[in-house]
Every structure is written in C-alpha cells, then in structure tokens.
Amino acid sequence: MATSLLTPGTDDTPLAEVAVEFPDNRLLIELCGEYDRNLAYLEQQLGIQILRRGNHLVAHGEAVAAQETVDVLRALYARLEADREVGPADIDREIRMREPGAENPSTATPDGDQLEMFRGGDVEIKTRRKMVEPRTEAQKDYVRNLFKHELSFGIGPAGTGKTYLAVAVAVNHFIEGNVDKIILTRPAVEAGERLGFLPGTQEEKVDPYMQPLYDALNDFLGAKDVGKLREAKKIEIAPLAFMRGRTLANAFVVLDEAQNATTMQMKMFLTRLGEGSRMVITGDRSQVDLPRGVQSGLRDAERLLSAIPDISFNYFTAKDVVRHHLVAKIIEAYEADEES
C-alpha cells in the first residue's frame, strides 16, 4: 500500500513523498540490494531520493518521478515474490517500460497466438542457463515476431540486443525440440582494417569474426555444452560464404552483421531456407564495411521484401541501446552529425 504527501518545491515544482510497504523483510533486503546498491541505481536513474523506514521505502522528489519510483519498486518486488532475481538490468527494464509510449508491462498482451513464453503480458525467453527478458518495447515486439514468423529482420544500431535476443530465441527453439540444430553465420569482413593472412587452421582463421556469436551462446548454454554441441554438429558457427549450396532444414539460422553481405550473398542466404527452419537477419545500416561502390545486401532485402506479409521487419533506435548509457549518446551524436 502506498501513501503520498505533496510538499512545495523550488520554482513551484511540487515535491512528494510516496511511501510503499513491503511485508516480507527478507525480500525487502533483496530488493534494496547489497549495500543498497539497487536503491542507489534507481535514485541515479530517476533523480529521486529513496529512504528506508522499517519495512517501508519512501520516494522523495518531484511528484511524477516519486510515483514512478514506487511503481518500479513494486514491479521489482513482484519479481522477487516470483523467485526471480533483481539487478541493474531489471531496474533499467522496468524504467524503460514506463517511458511515454511504452506499454504497461502488467497489461500488455502479445499479438498473434498466445505463446507459452508470454506470461501475463511479459515476454520471456527460456534458455538453459537463464531467463531472458527484453528491456524495451521495440525489443518486445522483435521477440514476438521471432516466435511468430519464419523469416525476420532486426535492423538498428549496435547495442540494441538484435543478435543477443535472436540467439536466445534460437536456443529456446533448440532446447524445446522445435529445431534440430542452430546455425550462426556472419560475413567475414574486416571492420575498416586489413589484418593480412591469419595463422592457423581454417576454423582458427574465422573464429575471431565469430566471437560475438560464441559469447551469446556461452551465456545461454555454457561453454562446455556449446563445445559438446559443436562436436555433435548440433551447433554450427561459420562464415556466410560456407552457406552456399546448402539447404538449411529443421534449423534455426541467424545471419549477423548482414549489412556486410553483398546483394548476391544475401540472395544466396535467403534461398537456403528449408522445411522446418527459421531465419533471423540482423544488421546495422550505419556500419557497412564493404568496399566502396559495393551495394549492401541488407538494403536490397529491405527494398524487395518489406511488402511480403510473412516476413517481419523490426527497427531499433538509440533509445533501445542496452549497453553503457554513453553508447546511446554516442550513436545519437553520430546520427546528428550525418543529418547536419
């Protein structure tokens, strides 16, 4: 139960104290975090002061922010009641979901069929090691489309979770038995550098390009299981050129960094789709590393396929960046410079 008291602030800005009670003291301790670090993070993000009085938390500050703080605290406490963890990423997610234009996470309902992982309006992806939750409205729409469509595109700047969420959905389909294997691929294009001939076997030569995909898989399955599944050919990670001539059936296939695929490579890849398979193509149009004059296959795919109803396109902006808060500001600065 929450109670509020309005007090006058500076420049006629109304201040408020909104108190909310949390009956389970053990969960309240978890909600606050070690050395109250969760409360400190929330204070920093919302510009509010949070005081603890017994089993009450009191948000003090600008009235709207104080009420928002209490709403976030309630949502996080509900996560703990459901035996789920609370950390900075969860706090960030709850704040983002309450921004203007975002759906209320407690009332949102999924489009299309009611899917098992959409519990009470929340979008959750079950993997072997963790439950993955989208942290922005655009991410929620993206994940819904990944489950709904056999061919999906995720387009936007770095740090918006395009590849991470796609790999999470791929792992979910694999552990649920919906596909027989996971295939992750990306063009082996250097990011504006010339590294020369790399030493080692063919696999050792391409592994540096594939490292972001390994990182995501290890997060969901664990390095040991990833190694075993690769030995059993249940997980394949290979450059895009290795897809030529194959029919990819009963597989979940993710093409990462698709902006660096040529038009011919993109056509080749898209026509590999076989029975029982799903494909996700992710890319960032602002980070094309192809030689000057070579058309990006991602742009052509958008132009040619966006009108096909069975193919989904999801777009992200700097507001969806879930890395360090400075990443979003960096992206916005570059975008502003390009437009000027």
Alpha-helical segments (H) within 129-278: 137-148, 162-175, 202-221, 223-231, 263-270
123 lies in the same domain as 161: yes
Whether 133 contacts 94, CB under 8 Å: no
Does 106 reside within a domain?
A: no
Distance CA 54, CA 51 (A): 10
171 lies in the same domain as 77: no
Distance CA 25, CA 55 (A): 6
283 lies in the same domain as 213: yes
| pLDDT tens digits, 133-181 | 888 889 999 999 999 999 999 999 988 899 999 999 999 999 999 999 9
| Residue 262, pLDDT above cutoff 80 | yes
pLDDT at 158: 85
In terms of Cα–Cα distance, which of 231, 202, 237 is closest to 217? 237
- The residues with which 282 forms a beta bridge, in sequence order, are 154
| Residue 109, pLDDT above cutoff 60 | no
Distance CA 182, CA 245 (A): 18
Q: What is the mean pLDDT of residues 183-209?
A: 63
Q: What one-character-per-residue DSSP string does 263-325 give?
A: HHHHHHHHTTB-TT-EEEEEE-TT---SPTTPPBHHHHHHHHHTT-TTEEEEE--GGG--S-H
Which residue type, as a one-letter code, is found at position 28?
L
170 lies in the same domain as 266: yes
| Residue 289, pLDDT above cutoff 50 | yes
Give the pair of three-digit tokens for residue 171. 């792992």
Q: How confident is the model at residue 246 (pLDDT cuts 50, 70, 90)?
A: confident
Whether 81 contacts 27, CB under 8 Å: yes
- The residues with which 314 forms a beta bridge, in sequence order, are 154
| Residue 66, pLDDT above cutoff 80 | yes
321 exposure class (CB count in 10 Å sphere: 0-12, 13-18, 19+): buried
Q: What is the mean pLDDT of residues 190-204?
A: 52
130 lies in the same domain as 90: no
Does 297 reside within a domain?
A: yes
| Residue 335, pLDDT above cutoff 90 | no
pLDDT at 205: 59
Distance CA 294, CA 262 (A): 7
Distance CA 196, CA 222 (A): 32
Q: What is the mean pLDDT of residues 188-194?
A: 53
292 lies in the same domain as 148: yes
Q: What is the mean pLDDT of residues 32-40?
A: 88
The dihedral built from the CA positions of residue 114, 116, 121 and 124, taken in this order, carries a sign that is negative
44 lies in the same domain as 122: no
Residue of 112 and 194 predicted with greater confidence:
194
pLDDT at 100: 58
260 lies in the same domain as 216: yes
Distance CA 311, CA 291 (A): 29
| Residue 85, pLDDT above cutoff 60 | yes
87 lies in the same domain as 122: no
Give the pair of three-digit tokens for residue 19. 């108190």
139 lies in the same domain as 215: yes
Which residue type, as a one-letter code, is found at position 47?
G
Longest dimension (CA), the chain: 71
Which residue type, as a one-letter code, is found at position 16?
A
CB atoms within 10 A of CB 48: 22
CATH of the domain at 181: 3.40.50.300
For helices 162-175 and 137-148, angle between their N-to-C axes, nearest 10 degrees? 40
Does 111 reside within a domain?
A: no
The number of folded domains in the chain is: 2
Q: What is the mean pLDDT of residues 207-226?
A: 85
CATH of the domain at 66: 3.30.1370.10
Q: What is the mean pLDDT of residues 244-267?
A: 92
Task: Determine the structural domain holding residue 7 and report its residue range.
Answer: 2-96
The three-class DSSP label of residue 240 is: helix
CB atoms within 10 A of CB 155: 22
- The owner of tokens 């989904």 is 312
226 lies in the same domain as 261: yes
